């Protein structure tokens, strides 16, 4: 019933106008809170949704999806972007959408429970004058509000494949570990290459160069092995493994646009050997995924070994298989 509130509200407004009653102004996002210097206590304060259950976005809050998504223990992701009226979205380096000050990115993480989705957390990125601010909000048991959780949180959930895990909501500082670039918080998801051309045309009124070039997750089995694996690594690993990010000292640069084989780990020795290497000598051994440190760490759930270090408590078996297929396709040296 909650999902029909927006339709009901529009119908009531139409009836009010026909009856000569002044209609209420349309709901709006609270731009003052986005641009301000406070940390709103609840997600509902922003006005991103027409209902407290976070199911009907307010006009101007646009849903979107990524071709290749980030793995987070099998969580469903509901992604939205808000851009203030009268502003322009440009394209920055790497095809990342350059959202103007006053914009917001909203991402809800949810797990299936029967026929419903149980919302766990919603992460919000706010573009303020001083830069981007990342805030985590945790949903209550009633599923009608999410509260600011600066210290993070833990929630017991069942993954889509039935594994019981303690899901970790990152604290505010941990957000910087993935979103940090040259000391500043920055968005990492909405890049033109990982968004559909149809959505970009609708949202921007144009399709930027290089848009919609990454294969979709659904087409991973039939896509070129290198393209599918490189897209997966770009989305799941390259926000840390790139110059200026938290894992830049590893020497790995896993961004989509990189074409240097050594930077991608092919035939590259690790900067710091240890138990994280599993006794293997090279990050990627062409034709031999079982001897590749990259695969070894992706396939582990052991703290201090597993990669990525944050954002997962389980192994993405399908993601590992994707990268293994790519390495197997490489001519052995």
**CB atoms < 10 A from the CB of 36, how many?**
12
How far is Cα 128 from Cα 80, in angstroms, rounded to an integer? 18
pLDDT of residue 22: 55
Strands 116-128 and 131-139: antiparallel
Is 47 in contact with 84 (CB distance < 8 Å)? no
- What does 89-150 look like in DSSP terms, one character per residue? -EE-GGGBEEPPTT-EEEEEEEEEETTEEEEEEEEEEEEETTEEEEEEEEE-TTSS-EEE-T
pLDDT of residue 1: 32
Angle at 88 (CA atoms; ends 85, 91), nearest 5 degrees: 145
Residue 10 pLDDT greater than 70, yes or no? no
**Exposure pattern of 56-91 as b/e (b: 16+ CB <10 Å)?**
bbbebbeebebbbbbbbbbbbebbbbbbbeeeebeb
Mean pLDDT check: name the lowest of 1-5, 145-149, 232-236, 261-265.
1-5
Residue 314 pLDDT greater than 90, yes or no? yes
Task: State both tokens at 141.
Answer: 């048991």
pLDDT of residue 19: 46
How far is Cα 192 from Cα 207, in angstroms, rounded to an integer? 8
> From start to end of 160-273, where are the E strands?
164-169, 180-181, 184-185
* pTM attached to this predicted model: 0.88
pLDDT of residue 24: 61
pLDDT of residue 6: 40
Q: Read off the pLDDT of residues 57-93 as tens digits, 9 standing for 90 and up.
A: 999 999 999 999 999 999 999 999 999 999 999 988 7
Phi and psi at 44, nearest 5°, equal: -60, -25
Q: What is the mean pLDDT of the chain?
A: 89
Residue 20 pLDDT greater than 80, yes or no? no
The H or E element containing residue 77 is: strand 76-82
Q: Where are the domains of the chain?
A: 28-214, 215-333
Count how many residues are written for the chain. Answer: 333
Mean pLDDT check: name the lowest of 73-77, 105-109, 309-313.
309-313
Is 308 in contact with 237 (CB distance < 8 Å)? yes
Most confident range (mean pLDDT) of 183-197, 213-227, 274-288, 303-317 is 213-227
């Amino acid at each position: 019933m909650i999902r029909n509130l927006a339709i009901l509200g529009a119908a009531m407004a139409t009836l009010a106008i026909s009856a000569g009653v002044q209609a209420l102004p349309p709901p709006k996002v609270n731009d003052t809170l986005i641009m301000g210097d406070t940390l709103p206590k609840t997600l509902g304060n922003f006005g991103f949704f027409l209902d407290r259950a976070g199911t009907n976005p307010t006009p101007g809050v646009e849903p979107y999806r990524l071709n290749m998504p980030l793995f987070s223990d099998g969580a469903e992701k509901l992604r939205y972007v808000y851009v203030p009226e009268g502003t322009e979205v440009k394209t920055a380096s790497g095809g990342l959408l350059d959202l103007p000050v006053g914009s917001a990115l909203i991402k809800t993480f949810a797990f299936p429970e029967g026929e419903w989705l149980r919302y766990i957390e919603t992460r919000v990125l706010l573009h303020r004058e001083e830069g981007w601010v990342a805030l985590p909000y945790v949903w209550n048991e009633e599923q009608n509000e999410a509260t600011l959780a600066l210290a993070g949180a833990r929630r017991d959930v069942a993954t889509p494949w039935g594994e019981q895990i303690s899901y970790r909501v990152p604290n505010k500082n941990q957000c910087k570990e993935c979103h940090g670039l040259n000391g500043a918080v920055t968005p990492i998801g909405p890049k033109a290459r990982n968004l559909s051309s149809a959505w970009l045309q609708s949202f921007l009124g144009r399709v930027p160069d290089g848009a919609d070039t990454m294969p979709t997750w659904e087409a991973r089995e039939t896509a070129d092995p290198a393209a599918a694996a490189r897209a997966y690594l770009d989305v799941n690993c390259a926000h840390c493994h790139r110059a200026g990010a938290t894992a830049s000292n590893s020497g790995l640069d896993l961004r989509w646009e990189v074409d240097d084989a050594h930077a991608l780990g092919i035939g590259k020795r690790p900067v710091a050997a240890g138990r994280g290497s599993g006794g293997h000598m090279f990050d990627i051994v062409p034709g031999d995924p079982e001897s590749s440190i990259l695969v070894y760490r992706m396939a582990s759930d052991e703290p201090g070994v597993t990669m990525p270090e944050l954002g997962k408590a389980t192994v993405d078996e399908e993601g590992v298989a994707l990268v293994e297929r790519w390495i197997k396709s490489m001519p052995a040296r």
